[in-house]
């Protein structure tokens, strides 16, 4: 695996400045924030908040992989995020043991529903490796089956978007039902342990949260590196060619269905990984996470950050969620209006997103730098 | 009679009751350059759609292969399978990847494995690089190899797409109105290029521009399509003097013979 774009793309060398900026951001997120937390400068709440933002960045990368690079606008990526969260949540629920409100060896909501022993499908989730595998297998398999049917039937464009939105909507209705035995509308919460480490907000809890944050930040970096590599391969070329002219690709001997399916499953796995890391840091997972609005918001992050760029979605997810945290405290009623307004502004005036801002501003700077010289000359 | 490389027999296709192609018979032989002319709506595009797997005929047979033992029924295959057999298609409006460089456009078209996993670990060999350099010179885009294809002039895009077709090393090239939107000089050079390809490849060229048809047809066969079927076939001069052809097509003055 090499980070320089592959040898057949001499035109696309990695810009040194871009690497420097990325390295700086990575250092800040992986080094500085945990350090500030360890020395008591920032609270565990703040650190976990950033941890959640980084999980959202993974969701944004997943949307961008589909929409930005392959031209498939999925309006249902939050489903895979939530499914990853549920799979990890099942493990965390098993780790509560008999420390729940009812002091029974099964999760509280099952006791509440009248169960006395664990349903069979809950059994293996006491194993972390099993749950970890399910985080990828369940969303991956659903993406595979849905993608296979949709792409084979040549469902494209807005029809694909509507179908993905319908899929996540249907899933949220399903997950609201108590008899699915996944916690109904309350979902899973009150987690106590992960891999033997306390998640409670005292004692060793903050150290565990710091560990979770670090794992999230490093995971984000690795996924970024993976995307960067993918972008430089011939696969990356095919992917973007499908976005710009699928017929030409098809009539050049490529089975575009296979390529789209691969990307769809990969994107689902990345979103699921984000969801799995999100759950212990948020302390809760419920069907709210897969409602239609969340998938739409993720699309806005990507558009604002910069669609079809590597850093754009990460930047967009972080900026918008920081803004959201501030706005929902300062102007709780106005948040959706602010978000919608921002989306319209970006689409109209900054179609390249935030990442295109430096290039947009550069001529203005040069002008300003040139002006005084012109004045002194005359 | 030699075995035809491409045999279209008794093929019909209708859309919502409109007969786009009816009882069409067409044979293409190895190394041939065939020009297909016909008024608008004669079924030229549908004809290409049927051969390349974009549309399936309602009835009839489309066979492709160099001998009776190596023959493929194209009506059961889809677009990419047909392309892999060695049939390349150039669309009427230039269809290149506008966000990719000229070089990358050709890399994507280069003959070789087309699978997902092969593409993940693909490296260009030096033979492949030489081949790309050679192609860039042939289509006169050597100096613009790092340009985004979207920035090329219309005629250059047409040439790039022809280059992309050649990179696939197809047996048959289906070329839809290659001279559309080109200057006279570009048109003449395109004609020369197509003539030079005949022999090594077999070509079917659909064209409206009669000067261009005269240039490339020389003494090879010209097929006239009318209302989805073959009106007549023969040398350019024979076709031109055929009264039926003059009536339906050439005599209208719009595409005059000059």
The string of pLDDT tens digits covering residues A329-345 is 899 899 989 999 999 99
Q: For residue A176, which phi and psi values (nearest 5 degrees)?
A: -70, -20
Torsion of CA B119, B121, B125, B128, to 10 degrees: 10
Chain A neighbors of B52, CB-CB under 8 A: 251
Mean pLDDT of A91-118: 93
Residue A185: band (very low, low, confident or very high) from pLDDT cuts 50, 70, 90: very high
Q: pLDDT at residue A6 above 90?
A: no
pLDDT at residue B251, rounded to an integer: 53
Which of A252, A266, A352 is best to mutate for the B interface (most B CBs within 10 A)? A252
CB contact under 8 A, B114 and A253: yes
pLDDT, tens digit, for every residue of A16-28? 677 888 888 899 9
User: What is the ipTM, given to two decimal places?
Assistant: 0.90
Does a structural domain hold residue A25? yes
Does the beta carbon of B169 lie under 8 angstroms from any beta carbon of chain A?
no
Among A1-15, A122-136, B184-198, B206-220, name the most confident range. A122-136
pLDDT at residue A375, rounded to an integer: 47
Q: Which residue, chain included where needed, has tokens 């965390």?
A: A92
pLDDT at residue A15, rounded to an integer: 63
Which 8-state DSSP code applies to residue A10? T
Total CB pairs under 8 A between chain A and B = 95
Q: Report the C-alpha gap between B159 and B182 in whole angstroms.
A: 10
Burial grade of B70 (CB within 10 A; 0-12, 13-18, 19 or more): exposed
Min distance B243 CA to chain A CA atoms (Å):
38
CB contact under 8 A, A233 and B80: no
pLDDT at residue A359, rounded to an integer: 84
Q: pLDDT at residue B159 above 50?
A: yes
The crossing angle, in degrees rounded to 10, of helices A234-250 and B102-109 is: 70
pLDDT at residue B181, rounded to an integer: 83
Chain A neighbors of B97, CB-CB under 8 A: 240-241, 244-245, 248
Number of domain units in chain A: 1
Residue B189: band (very low, low, confident or very high) from pLDDT cuts 50, 70, 90: very high
Question: Is the backbone of residue A283 left (phi > 0), alpha (psi -120 to 50) or beta?
Answer: left
Chain A neighbors of B100, CB-CB under 8 A: 237, 240-241, 244
CB contact under 8 A, B83 and A10: no
Does the beta carbon of B143 lie under 8 angstroms from any beta carbon of chain A?
no
Share of chain A above pLDDT 70, in %: 93
Does the beta carbon of B144 lie under 8 angstroms from any beta carbon of chain A?
no
Task: State whether residue A189 is helix, strand or coil.
Answer: strand
Question: Is the backbone of residue B227 left (phi > 0), alpha (psi -120 to 50) or beta?
Answer: left
Mean pLDDT of A30-41: 95
Q: For residue B8, which phi and psi values (nearest 5 degrees)?
A: -110, 120
CB contact under 8 A, B119 and A238: yes
- Residue A7 has its nearest CB partner, among B98, B115, B123, at B123
Q: For residue B45, which phi and psi values (nearest 5 degrees)?
A: -70, -40
Judge whether B205 and B216 are in contact, CB under 8 Å: yes
Q: Which residue has the higher pLDDT, A2 or B243?
A: B243
pLDDT, tens digit, for every residue of A244-287? 999 999 999 999 999 999 999 999 999 999 999 999 999 999 99
Min distance B98 CA to chain A CA atoms (Å):
7
pLDDT at residue A341, rounded to an integer: 93
Mean pLDDT of B231-248: 88
pLDDT, tens digit, for every residue of A346-368? 999 999 999 888 888 888 888 77
Cα–Cα–Cα angle for A293, A295, A296, rounded to 5 degrees? 65
Residue A316: band (very low, low, confident or very high) from pLDDT cuts 50, 70, 90: very high
Q: Which residue has the higher pLDDT, A219 or B257?
A: A219
Q: pLDDT at residue B250 above 80?
A: no
CB contact under 8 A, A259 and B116: yes
Does a structural domain hold residue A6? no
* Structural domain boundaries enclosing A147: 16-377
Does a structural domain hold residue A170? yes
Mean pLDDT of B108-122: 95
Q: Report the C-alpha gap between A205 and A356 in whole angstroms.
A: 41
pLDDT at residue B249, rounded to an integer: 67
pLDDT at residue A14, rounded to an integer: 54
Residue of chain B with shortest Cα separation from A246: B97
Task: State whether residue B36 is helix, strand or coil.
Answer: strand
Q: Report the C-alpha gap between B63 and B8 in whole angstroms.
A: 7
Residue of chain A with shortest Cα separation from B120: A235
Work out the widest C-alpha separation in chain A, in whole angstroms.
91
Q: Which of B182, B21, B204, B2 is nearest to B94 (CA)?
A: B182
Q: pLDDT at residue A378 above 80?
A: no
Chain B neighbors of A254, CB-CB under 8 A: 80, 114
Task: State whether residue A308 is helix, strand or coil.
Answer: coil
Q: Report the C-alpha gap between B206 and B90 in whole angstroms.
A: 10
pLDDT at residue B240, rounded to an integer: 86
Does the beta carbon of B258 lie under 8 angstroms from any beta carbon of chain A?
no
Which of A242, A248, A262, A265 is best to mutate for the B interface (most B CBs within 10 A)? A248
Does a structural domain hold residue A159? yes
Residue A371: band (very low, low, confident or very high) from pLDDT cuts 50, 70, 90: low
Does a structural domain hold residue A8? no
Q: pLDDT at residue A130 above 80?
A: yes
Strand locations in A191-346 (E): 193-194, 197-198, 284-285
pLDDT at residue B171, rounded to an integer: 96
Q: For residue B148, which phi and psi values (nearest 5 degrees)?
A: -70, 135
Residue B161: band (very low, low, confident or very high) from pLDDT cuts 50, 70, 90: very high
Q: For residue B200, which phi and psi values (nearest 5 degrees)?
A: -75, -35
For residue B172, the cross-strand partners are: B87, B202
Q: pLDDT at residue B239 above 80?
A: yes
Share of chain A above pLDDT 90, in %: 82
Task: State whether residue B201 is helix, strand or coil.
Answer: strand
Q: pLDDT at residue B23 above 60?
A: yes
Judge whether B8 and B229 are in contact, CB under 8 Å: no
Q: pLDDT at residue A157 above 50?
A: yes
pLDDT at residue A233, rounded to an integer: 95
pLDDT at residue B73, rounded to an integer: 95
Does a structural domain hold residue A20? yes
Mean pLDDT of B195-221: 91
Q: pLDDT at residue B53 above 70?
A: yes
Average pLDDT, chain B: 91
Does a structural domain hold residue A305? yes
Does a structural domain hold residue A340? yes
Q: pLDDT at residue A90 above 80?
A: yes
pLDDT at residue A149, rounded to an integer: 97
Chain A neighbors of B167, CB-CB under 8 A: none
pLDDT at residue A145, rounded to an integer: 98
Which 8-state DSSP code applies to residue B252? G
pLDDT at residue B254, rounded to an integer: 47
* Both structure tokens of B29: 């032989």
Residue B245: band (very low, low, confident or very high) from pLDDT cuts 50, 70, 90: confident
Helix (H) or strand (E) holding B40: none
Q: Report the C-alpha gap between A66 and B248 in whole angstroms.
A: 50
């Amino acid at each position: 695996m090499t980070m320089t774009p592959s040898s057949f793309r001499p035109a696309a060398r990695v810009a040194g400045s871009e690497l420097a900026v990325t390295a700086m951001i990575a250092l800040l997120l992986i080094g500085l924030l945990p350090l500030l937390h360890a020395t008591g400068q920032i609270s565990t709440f703040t650190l976990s908040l950033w941890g959640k933002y980084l999980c959202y960045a993974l969701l944004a990368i997943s949307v961008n992989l589909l929409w930005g690079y392959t031209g498939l606008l999925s309006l249902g990526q939050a489903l895979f995020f939530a499914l990853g969260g549920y799979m990890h949540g099942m493990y965390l629920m098993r780790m509560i043991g008999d420390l729940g409100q009812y002091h029974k060896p099964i999760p509280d909501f099952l006791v509440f529903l009248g169960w006395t022993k664990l349903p069979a499908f809950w059994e293996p989730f006491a194993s972390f490796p099993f749950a970890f595998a399910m985080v990828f297998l369940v969303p991956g398999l659903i993406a595979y089956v849905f993608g296979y049917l949709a792409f084979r039937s040549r469902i494209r464009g807005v029809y694909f978007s509507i179908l993905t939105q319908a899929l996540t909507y249907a899933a949220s209705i399903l997950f609201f039902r108590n008899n699915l035995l996944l916690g109904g509308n309350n979902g899973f919460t009150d987690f106590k342990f992960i891999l033997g480490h306390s998640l409670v907000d005292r004692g060793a809890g903050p150290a565990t949260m710091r560990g979770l944050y670090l794992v999230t930040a490093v995971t984000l970096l690795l996924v970024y590196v993976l995307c960067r590599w993918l972008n430089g391969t011939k696969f990356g070329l095919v992917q973007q060619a499908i976005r710009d002219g699928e017929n030409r690709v098809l009539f050049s001997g490529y089975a575009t269905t296979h390529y789209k399916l691969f990307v769809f499953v990969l994107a689902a796995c990345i979103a699921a990984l984000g969801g799995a890391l999100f759950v212990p840091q948020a302390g809760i997972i419920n069907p709210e996470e897969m409602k239609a609005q969340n998938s739409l918001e993720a699309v806005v992050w990507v558009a604002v950050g910069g669609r079809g760029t590597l850093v754009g979605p990460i930047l967009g997810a972080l900026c918008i969620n920081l803004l959201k945290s501030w706005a929902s405290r300062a102007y709780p009623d106005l948040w959706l209006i602010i978000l919608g307004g921002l989306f319209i502004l970006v689409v109209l005036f900054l179609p390249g997103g935030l990442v295109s801002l430096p290039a947009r501003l550069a001529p203005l700077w040069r002008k300003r730098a040139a002006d005084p010289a012109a004045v002194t000359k005359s | 009679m030699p075995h035809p490389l491409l045999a279209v027999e008794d093929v019909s296709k209708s859309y919502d009751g409109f007969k786009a192609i009816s009882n069409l018979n067409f044979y293409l032989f190895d190394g041939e350059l065939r020009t297909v002319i016909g008024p608008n709506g004669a079924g030229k595009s549908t004809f290409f759609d049927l051969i390349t797997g974009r549309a399936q005929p309602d009835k009839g047979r489309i066979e492709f292969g160099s001998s009776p033992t190596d023959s493929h029924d194209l009506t059961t295959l889809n677009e990419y399978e047909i392309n892999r057999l060695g049939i390349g298609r150039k669309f009427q409006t230039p269809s290149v990847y506008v966000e990719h460089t000229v070089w990358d456009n050709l890399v994507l078209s280069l003959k070789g494995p087309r699978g997902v996993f092969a593409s993940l670990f693909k490296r260009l060999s030096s033979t492949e690089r030489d081949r790309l350099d050679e192609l860039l010179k042939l289509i006169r885009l050597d100096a613009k190899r790092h340009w985004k294809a979207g920035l090329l002039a219309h005629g250059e895009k047409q040439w790039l797409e022809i280059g992309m077709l050649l990179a696939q090393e197809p047996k048959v090239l289906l070329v839809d109105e290659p001279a559309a939107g080109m200057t006279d000089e570009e048109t003449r050079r395109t004609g020369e290029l197509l003539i030079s390809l005949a022999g090594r490849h077999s070509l079917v060229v659909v064209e409206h521009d009669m000067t261009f048809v005269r240039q490339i047809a020389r003494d090879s066969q010209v097929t006239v399509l009318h209302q989805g079927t073959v009106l007549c076939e023969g040398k350019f001069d024979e076709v031109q003097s055929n009264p039926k052809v003059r009536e339906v097509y050439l005599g209208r003055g719009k595409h005059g013979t000059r």
